[in-house]
Amino acid sequence: MDRLLKYPVRFAIIFALVLIIFCFIWIFLLSRPAFIPGFNLTGKDQIGETIGGITAPIVGIGTSVLLFLALMFQIKAMDTQRVAFDEQDLKNESDFIFVMFNQFLTELSFFSYNYDQNTPINPVVNINLSGVTALNMFVIKYSTTSMKNKGIGEFPPSRQILLLLETLRSIKNRIGIAKITELNRSMYQAKLESYYTNYLKANLESLEKTFTSFPTSADQIADKIREFYASWQN
């Protein structure tokens, strides 16, 4: 049947030719004298109607076969189209997840932090950092200096941290509901875990210890950071 559905036009032409040839042969045989007198139609009136009545079921069967094949071809085409749509959906979902990963990396690259630092040459030098270096330095400064005596929300980089956490949470949720293969889902989950481990885990652990040791550092943004950190540990 699969081979038949693979060449529908060729089969339909061959079947129609065979049916036509069979009808001509059948008509020719019916118009010849028969060995058995009961089957001899040559002497009967309106032989055309007789032959038509005999061949009509054959033509009807052929029509039914062709109709059945047409239905099978339509079902096959719909299955092929559905598979194409499913493959496109998988591609769209995968592309969207990759866009979200790239969005996270873009946000991380735009992370900025600047601070003043005393040097032997100049009394004060303004240091401007970006990317992962800026994130790491902000967490170090906040956790090890007098900055921790204030709520973390008083420092602009804390809102950048929240943005990173929300993006990572969105990626995790999307991977969970996406219509993708389990193999791809496992791959994306492993990729997500590596992003968390490489870029955020150590910093969040340091902030969690600071929030616990210094209650003055706790505020609404600290609560959101702690909630994210706790959810990722489960």
pLDDT at residue number 89: 62
Residues 1-57 have pLDDT tens digits of 555 555 555 666 676 667 667 666 666 655 555 555 555 555 555 555 555 665 666
Q: Is 102 within a domain?
A: no
Q: Is 92 within a domain?
A: no
Asked if 59 contacts 23 with a C-beta cutoff of 8 angstroms, the reply is yes
How far is 105 from 204, CA to CA, in rounded Å?
17
115/163 same-domain check: yes
69/143 same-domain check: no
115/194 same-domain check: yes
Q: Is 171 within a domain?
A: yes
How far is 152 from 219, CA to CA, in rounded Å?
7
Least confident of 44-48, 102-106, 215-219, 222-226: 44-48
What the block records as the tokens of 43 is: 């002497």
Q: Is 91 within a domain?
A: no
pTM confidence score: 0.64
73/159 same-domain check: no
68/177 same-domain check: no
pLDDT at residue number 18: 72
Q: Is 57 within a domain?
A: yes
Query: Of 50, 84, 118, which one is at a domain's C-terminal end?
Result: 84
Q: Is 100 within a domain?
A: no
Q: Is 129 within a domain?
A: yes
Q: Is 173 within a domain?
A: yes
55/168 same-domain check: no
123/63 same-domain check: no
Domain count, the chain: 2
Residue 208 sits at the vertex; the CA angle it makes with 206 and 209, to the nearest 5 degrees, is 65
What the block records as the tokens of 105 is: 């990396």
Mean pLDDT throughout 177-186?
Answer: 86
130/183 same-domain check: yes
Alpha helices, DSSP H only, in the chain?
Answer: 2-6, 8-30, 47-109, 131-144, 157-177, 182-195, 202-213, 220-233
Which residue from 225, 228, 232, 201 is spatially nearest to 211, judged by alpha carbons?
Answer: 225
Q: Write the Ramachandran bin of 131: left for phi over 0, alpha for psi from -120 to 50, otherwise beta.
A: left
135/71 same-domain check: no
User: What is the extent of the structural domain holding 71?
Assistant: 2-84
